[in-house]
Structure 1
Amino acid sequence: MPVGSLLPFSVAPHGSGSGAGGGPAGSVPGVGVTGLHWLGSAGRKLSGFRLTEKFVLLLVFSGFITLCFGAIFFLPDSPKLLSGVLFQQHQPPALQRSPLGSMDEEDGGRLARIREEHERALREAKDTLNRAPEDIQGDIQRDKERVQAQGRVTAGVRLAPRPFKAPIGVQGGEPSDPEVKAKRDKIKEVRRWQPGYLSCTAGGDAPRLPIPNMAIVCLVSGNIQGATIVDSLDTLYIMGMEDEFNEAKEWVEKNLQFNANVEVSVFEVNIRFVGGLLSAYYLSGEEILGTKAIDLGKKLLPAFDTPTGIPWALLNIKSGIGRNWPWASGGSSILAEFGTLHLEFVHLTEISGDPVFKEKVMNIRKVLNRLDKPQGLYPNYLNPSSGQWGQHHVSVGGLGDSFYEYLLKAWLMSDKTDEEAKKLYYEAVQSIETHLIRKSSNGLTYIAEWKGGLLEHKMGHLTCFAGGMFALGADGAPNDKTGHHMELAAEIARTCHESYDRTATKLGPEAFRFDGGVEAIATRQNEKYYILRPEVIETYLYMWRFTHDPKYRQWGWEAVEALEKFCRVEGGYSGVRDVYATHPSHDDVQQSFFLAETLKYLYLLFSDDDFLPLEHWIFNTEAHPLPINRKADRTIEGLDK
């Protein structure tokens, strides 16, 4: 209530009254300085008292004032009480205090509640001291997981990977067939014999190896150090090379940093570094690898800061400034690059609990769903500002390949719950078969490229992954087309093997053509090179797993023999400049995907099916195995929506 209803006087503003230093006529000297004035008849009655009586009365009233204000400020919860008394007139009616008579009763109840809360806190503290440390840690972890699951993880918080259920088939047994075992051991020896691999740990830029100009790729896009080390972590683990794996893991823990003022390819960093770290984390359970993957994933998020959310191709990982390749159709983003983030970013959300990673890649799908597709096909270029297609060039090889791969694998990795990804994949395959897949006069099936409605009858080495993709997706093909998709996969595998078999080295060219009477042969000098690519071997692996036709192992072993004969050099394995030359020259470079993909696929080709079984694992486009997110095993509510 207003203070005037409690006291026989009012507190006036400083300086009020008839004079600067005094009160009304006849008042006690000095009283006017306090700003106190007698009101009405009470003031007039004081004029009849003597000076000593007035002084006594003043002392009484002063004591009364002190008592009232002391009670207000020093009672429990005094700020709330003061607010309710002095400022009640400014509060909404629903918040106003009851009259003073009932206030004491309320405060008594409040004091009782305070005592009860204090006693409960003391009991909880005593119980905590008596609990085992592991129980306390468990409660802390559960609280942390609950907060993460609710999406309250901020960009400034350092995220550690969540505990996970170890996937099936991490360790494989020895092949029972002695001949198969001997071949697998040979492939492991190829991986072990890498004298230049360790030089990547020295921190140099593509270090020179024992032969002139020979270099192993230690960097990605010339910028982030350690590509070969990170890209081959899971290969080391899969092959049981424990000492080498631990050495590489130690280098990652101590030296792998993401704070340099450098520009990187978002696509390459994602498939090699993020994918490699995630895979090694899932295989080994080493938390530092998962933490590094999350840290790097956060560094890549500014690439999505475009008007559409379609990410830039290039990103300065320190400044967060992005741009696209200047040659890419008026500054467009590239289909295979922004379409090859889904698997890794979904797993970043799975292990961190932060939904932002999955949200970014799901937005890409939303943008694509709004666009018209020419003939149901996806052009290779999309402008991230306008959200419109660039040049109408369609390829299942370079610039487009892994986009289609990730549509299928997004569905499979979701434990076949991502129905949208399934629909998009099979619709895309139908359009590819209608408009791009052709058969040569001698019966070789190939996938051409589409440029503004015109076909270029060329198939790239990169396109040879499609045989494995068709086989992997055959079981879910609609309209009873499983058999048809397997036939298509086998035909692509045969064509790609022919591109190898028709060379002097038994290694396949970068691209081969079907025109002018030529079939599965490179006709241009700039298409005759081989840089240790894995796509043909990848298709052999899938075809072996699904058919167990021995020819796929035979074809794979032919590739091993060719690598040994024509690519092995003093410092490692080098690409060759002309696969049709009987004595080819070397390009003196060992790409990191040779260790990450080519040797891994060969090793698994000669392993039993229960080693990284396909019903439990999905390989990203750099051959890094990631576990299928079984719906029954998901630990974060809402991430499967």
Structure 2
Amino acid sequence: MGLKEEYEQARNWIRHNLDFALTAKGDLSVFETNIRFIGGLLSIYALTNDKMYLEKAEAIGKLLLPAFDTPTGIPYALVNVITGSAKNYGWASGGCSILSEFGSLQLEFDYLSVLTGNNIFSIKVQHVRKFLTDIEKPNGLYPLYLHPKTGKWGSVSHSIGGLGDSFYEYLLKHWLITGKKDTHTKNEYDAAVFAMEKKMLFESKQSKLWYFANLHGTRVEHKMEHLACFSGGMFALQSANEANSTVAAHYLELAEKLAHTCHESYVRTAIGIGPEAFRFTSDVEAKAVSVNEKYYILRPEVVETWFYLWRITKQEKYRQWAWDVVVALEKYAKVEAGYSGILDVYSLPVNHDDVQQSFVFAELFKYLYLIFADDSILSLDRWVFNTEAHPFPVRIP
């Protein structure tokens, strides 16, 4: 983007100030620290070859290792860098670890081992992957909670949205980042997606919109989360890399159906940007119902899906939809000091939450920029984005 002065300022800050061993207070989220900090630093290293970033990433990675000291090797969610102690969230089912968290470390930890030669990071995540391969999956589905001490599933809920999402994304992307050599994770991905299509994919009665519902035991909750809207991009990326043309066509069609559904959740609001979650009932389709579903916190998943579909299909509507989001963000989310989340996307005038999430820059603005940039910038044949949109190079065999 040519922002050289800003880049140098940021590099200087990272060099002199980014040291979790000195500045971190309290507990660190293993997942968030991994995808945001380690992922971001490894990505900058890949783009610049500046070893300072790699050294910072390795130092942070070492601070997270105590989280893996469990009887099963399934990591805890939180680690205290001062004491070295680790634990899970108090609200997580029965002291369990969360699927999307312990299952979304492999891209970063493997790449960290490749670059540093320190295999401890790769060993940790390979053990997690083997554990998940060997454990029984009810109806082929992965529950959202797993106890790190007993190795047993917690409450049997399933979602491709929050608490599940990036686990599936990383199965596909690890296959891609290894130059399609890691067929094991692709097989795991195929089996998981097949089970979800069978049990959790629905078409609405009125608008004929396809969506992934949440599953709680045998009870279906006909709600799709904004977080789950990433799945259209995942299926589009899968379709572009499938050798079997029939399989590729199936997943491209599914990707486009989900992209359309998520677009409908946007256009059925007052501001042209969608809610945190939307439901399908006899009365409403693709709309939020309760107050705690009506907010928008600058999430990127819908635009992320449109980015992949633009790159893969070149259908102009995906650029137009993205531009509509740009206009809506400028009109409703922009405030004096940046961009703010919105408390109710169905109400005008808007009320802001006065929070600017970091993923607005890491993901939302990046995907919007790339939709309008040339395809050669971070080409999908050469780069794989982690779940925070930090690009890693494909390791060509």
TM-score range, shorter chain: over 0.9
Paired with 1:600 and 1:427, the residues of 2 have a C-alpha distance of: 31
For 1:422-437, list aligned pairs within 5 A: 422-437=186-201
Note if 1:255 corresponds to 2:50.
Answer: no
Amino acid at match of 1:417: K
1:42-67 residue CA offsets vs partner (Å, 9 max, x unmatched) = xxxxxxxxxxxxxxxxxxxxxxxxxx
Pair 1:484 & 2:224 matched:
no
Distance in 1 separating the partners of 2:18 and 2:304:
29
- Structure 1: tracts of 5 or more residues without a match: 1-238, 632-641
Q: 1:582-634: CA deviations, max 9, x gaps?
A: 21100000000001000000000001111110011000000000111112xxx
Counterparts of 1:502 and 1:614 in 2: how far apart (Å)?
32
| Paired position in structure 2 for 1:300 | 64
Describe the superposition over 1:118-143 as per-residue Cα deviations: whole angstroms up to 9, x where unpaired: xxxxxxxxxxxxxxxxxxxxxxxxxx
Instruction: State the alpha-carbon separation in 2 of the partners of residues 619 and 261 from structure 1.
Output: 29
Q: Where does 1:354-503 land on structure 2 (aligned, <5 Å)?
A: 354-441=118-205, 442-474=207-239, 475-476=241-242, 480-503=246-269
The 8 Å contact of residues 444 and 495 in structure 1, kept in 2 or not, is answered as yes
Q: 2:46 corresponds to which letter in structure 1?
A: Y
CA contact (8 A) 1:426 1:477 kept: no
Letter in 2 for 1:564: E
For 1:253-292, what aligned pairs fall within 5 Å after superposition?
A: 253-259=15-21, 260-292=24-56
Normalised to the residue count of structure 1, the TM-score between the two structures is 0.61
* 1-structure distance, mates of 2:262, 2:339: 22
Instruction: Provide the aligned C-alpha RMSD in A.
Output: 1.0
Aligned partner (choices 93, 102, 107) of residue 329 of structure 1: 93
Give CA-to-partner distance per residue, 1:490-541, whole Å, 9 cap, x none: 0000000000000000011000000122110001111000000000000000
Is the partner of 2:351 in helix, strand or coil?
coil
Q: In 2, Cα distance between the equivalents of 1:339 and 1:408?
A: 12
Q: Per-residue displacement from partner, 1:412-444 (whole Å, max 9, x unpaired)?
A: 001000011010001111111000010001210
What's 2:328 paired with?
A: 562
Please name the residue that 1:522 is paired with.
288
Kindly name which structure, 1 or 2, has the bigger radius of gyration based on alpha carbons.
1
Give the counterpart letter for 1:554 in structure 2. Answer: Q
Whether the aligned pair in 2 keeps the contact of 1:261 and 1:319 (CA below 8 Å) is: no
| Equivalent position of 2:275 in the other structure | 509
Give the C-alpha shift of residue 450 in structure 1.
0.5
Distance 1:261 1:540 in 2: 38
State the 1:248 CA deviation.
Answer: 0.5
Sort the Cα spacing of 1:605 and 1:440 in 2 relative to 1 into closer, same or farther, 3 A. same
| Equivalent-residue separation in structure 2 for 1:413 and 1:543 (angstroms) | 19
Give 1:261 deviation, angstroms.
4.6
For 1:318 and 1:544, the matched residues in 2 are separated by 45
Q: 2: distance between equivalents of 1:377 and 1:460? A: 18
- What residue number does 1:348 align with? 112
Instruction: Give the Å deviation of 1:262.
Output: 2.4
Aligned-partner Cα distance in 2 for 1:479–1:432: 21
* Helix, strand or coil at the partner of 2:202: strand
Q: Which runs of 5+ in 2 are unaligned?
A: none
Task: For residue 477 of structure 1, report the CA deviation from its aligned partner.
Answer: 6.8
SS of aligned partner of 1:407: helix
Shift of 1:478: 5.7
